[in-house]
Structure 1
Amino acid sequence: MPKPIPMSRRAWVAAWAVLCAAGLAATATLNASSAPDPQPEKSVSAECAERIADIERQLAKAKQEGKGDGVLAFSRIQVGTEDDCSDDLRDHFGGDQ
């Protein structure tokens, strides 16, 4: 049976320090590479922008009247419109959080 190579305590500590440094460097590299790219601003149709502005006005009016802590509800689809703006409204008002 071969005899194991003796290592001093300093050699073990140095090897451990090198492995820790390599692990930290690898972790930092992986974290930096996996950061999501910022999403470009989505364009909002004119109709949706008008609806968002209308809702903002209604919220401001309710806040001025002292009803700012209440709940406002809006229907999702208006009759005769192709675009219901639900995604745009959710994005603007943070409903996807």
Structure 2
Amino acid sequence: MPRPIPIPRSRRAWIVTCAAPCAAGLAAAYGLNTSSEPEPPPKKPVSAQCAALIESIEGQLAKNERDGKKGGALAFSRNRGAGQEDCGDALRDHFGRHGGDR
């Protein structure tokens, strides 16, 4: 019959017994987090009409920034003329989903 492993009785032995696996787990988690940086999502192709709209908006934003008008609001109309493409997804992808900084 094998001898049972003696249970540590001193406070120092208990601390080492608990700290060693914790340190190993933290080191493993840190290694996994640093080794796998998320890749940026691939860019979706944008139609020429949406690219022109984005370029126009970028120009307006640059003009406002040159004029010293920072922190303004940018609003879009949901009305489209006949034959115009809905560029909402392209605008959200370019400028951010939640209206944050570019």
- Which blocks of at least 5 consecutive residues in structure 1 are unaligned? none
The partner residue of 2:57 within 55, 58, 75 is: 55
Pairing of 1:6-85 with structure 2 (within 5 A) = 7-9=8-10, 10-28=12-30, 31=33, 36-65=38-67, 67-81=69-83, 83-85=85-87
Tell me the TM-score normalized by structure 2: 0.62
Shift of 1:32: 5.2
Structure 1 stretches (4+) deviating beyond 6 angstroms?
A: none
Q: Percent sequence identity over matched residues? A: 52
Give the superposition deviation at 1:14: 2.6
Which structure has the higher relative contact order (CA within 8 Å, separation 6+)?
2
TM-score normalised according to structure 1 size: 0.64
1:3-53 deviation line (CA, Å, top 9, x unaligned) = xx4524243233122222233134335645885432112221111110011
